[in-house]
Structure 1
Amino acid sequence: MNDQKPRILVGVDGSPGSQAALRWALTYAEQCGGTITALIAWAPPVLVEAAPVPPVISDEDSKKCAEQQLRQTVDDTKAALATSVHVGLEVVRGPAARSLLERTEHADLLVVGSRGHGGFVGALLGSVSQHCVSHAHCPVVVVRPGAG
């Protein structure tokens, strides 16, 4: 970290793990005077049909849904903690792990939940958090649901 305000990047997907990560990051930022960017990554729906079928949800609808999920999660979490820490919002098209990792070059800390949406329920770390721990350009905090 540097002498300036710590730049904290948080992965948010609306899951209990990402909500815990955001709570942890907000508490940490309040204590150290850090700045937060909450990032949600989205991808167009994948159709697994043999015959060509037009997408049910457009790219623009997918993006709007992701933005709404991010804004709602941030607003609810900030209200629950009664914090005034500013949170910048970033909505990115692409895989979550890659999107987060690209932005760790300009972050002092990455905070992610241990489990997001999808994957194996019994796994200790999800694929995104595992990938981030292994490849981030900054320290990574992994927060379990119920923590933070």
Structure 2
Amino acid sequence: MSEPAIEPLIVVGVDGSRHSVEAVRWAVQQARLMGGRVHAVMAWDWNRNPFALGMAEARFAEQEAVTAEEAARRKLADTVTAAVGASPGVPVFRRVEQGSPAQVLVDASKEADLTVVGTRGYGGFKGALLGSVSQQVVQYSAGTVVLVRENENEDEDEGAGDSGNGA
């Protein structure tokens, strides 16, 4: 008796930028074609103050970390919904993990059939071909990586809402 086939897994990096919205759209469209599923992954990191002393400071730092993680969960949910709506037609799971974005995505690529990232996220500058995270994912990923380029009409679409290419 043969084992049931496992749906292909597409991991997509999300940071809330327009580029990651396009990457989620592309990943969901590809999952439809492959009969797969998508894990939308967002990383968050919290550096505690090494000079904080005492229990009150430690409790405050722990509460701030919880707040940062919750903010990441909300941003991930909002980004996925903005990209593909509430019923994307394929399973889309949201994962929030603590760590540097590049390392979290490289680790997630080890279980993925395909890893998808936008070309630039927050912190990138206009002239950059690749953002530092996408560059590291391409370099260190365990498998195939797709870079989703920005919408060619990016400047025209700014401020026009979510008019993207509607993948």
**TM-score, length basis structure 2:** 0.76
With over 3 angstroms needed to count, the CA separation of the structure-2 counterparts of 1:51 and 1:94, relative to structure 1, is closer
Aligned-CA RMSD value:
2.4
Pick the structure with greater CA Rg: 2
Contact 1:78 1:84 in 2 (8 A): no
Gap runs ≥5 in structure 1 = none
Name 1:109's counterpart in structure 2: 114
Secondary structure class of the residue paired with 2:42: strand
Letter in 2 for 1:10: V
Q: 1:45 Cα deviation (Å)?
A: 6.1
**AA paired with 2:9?**
R
* TM-aligned CA distance change 1:51 to 1:103, over 3 Å: closer
Q: Which runs of 4+ in 1 moved over 3 A?
A: 50-55
> What's the counterpart of residue 72 of structure 1?
78
2:23 is matched by which residue type in structure 1? A
Distance between the aligned counterparts of 1:131 and 1:58, measured in 2? 28
Q: How does 1:136-147 map to 2 (within 5 A)?
A: 136-146=141-151
1:13-92 to 2 correspondence within 5 Å?
13-44=15-46, 58-79=64-85, 83-92=88-97
- Pick one of 83, 95, 103 that aligns with 2:100: 95
Gaps of at least 5 residues in structure 2 are 152-164
Residue 83 of structure 1 deviates from its aligned partner by 2.6
Relative contact order (C-alpha < 8 Å, sep 6+): which is higher?
A: 1
Could you tell me how far apart the structure 2 residues matched to 1:73 and 1:46 are?
Answer: 27
Q: Across the two proteins, how many residue pairs are aligned to each other?
A: 142
Give the whole-Å Cα distance in 1 for the aligned partners of 2:124 and 2:15.
14
Name whichever of 68-77 and 109-118 sits farther off: 68-77
Look up the equivalent residue of 2:28 and give its one-letter code: L
Taking structure 1 as reference, are residues 46 and 115 closer, same or farther at Cα in structure 2, changes over 3 Å only? Answer: farther
SS in 1 for 2:121: coil
State the partner residue of 1:127: 132
Q: Percent identity?
A: 39
* 1:76–1:120 distance in 2 versus 1, CA, 3 Å: closer
The TM-score, its normalising length taken from structure 1, stands at 0.85
